Amino acid sequence: GIQVEQSPPDLILQEGANSTLRCNFSDSVNNLQWFHQNPWGQLINLFYIPSGTKQNGRLSATTVATERYSLLYISSSQTTDSGVYFCAVGTDYKLSFGAGTTVTVRA
């Protein structure tokens, strides 16, 4: 199956800082999504981004499909940004998830 590697595994930020999360994948995909899992376990879809760049408020994402990686940018981080960020990739309806990046934003 497709291998998904996320880095870094853990990230500690001071409130207001910017950060970049990376997702590398091992094969061509036609589906790539970023999710945020809050401390209560709820998974929220942030972006559907198999290619190109998207922005939603303080979050943006870029996927370079030909080079098999995606980046998630968090700007002006807030404590509510804390949680685990997952990258998921796939084809044919199925997504394989990476191990996630645990982000802790300190006030």
**Position 59 contacts other proteins (CB under 8 A):** no
Q: How far is CA 70 from CA 7, 23, 66, in A?
A: 11, 5, 11
Residue 50: asked if its preceding bond is cis (omega within 30°), the reply is no
Confirm if 47 and 86 have CB atoms less than 8 A apart: no
Distance of CA 52 to the CA centre of its chain: 14
Segment interacting with other proteins, rule: CB under 8 A, options 19-27, 36-44, 51-59, 65-73: 36-44
**Position 97 contacts other proteins (CB under 8 A):** yes
Q: Is 43 helix (H, G, I), strand (E, B) or coil?
A: strand
**Position 2 contacts other proteins (CB under 8 A):** no
The binder of other proteins chosen from 43, 59, 65, 71 (CB under 8 A): 43
Question: What residue type is assigned to position 4 of the chain?
Answer: V
Segment interacting with other proteins, rule: CB under 8 A, options 11-19, 20-28, 61-69, 94-102: 94-102
Which parts of this chain interact with other proteins (CB under 8 A)?
Answer: 30-31, 33, 35, 41-45, 48, 86, 88, 93-100
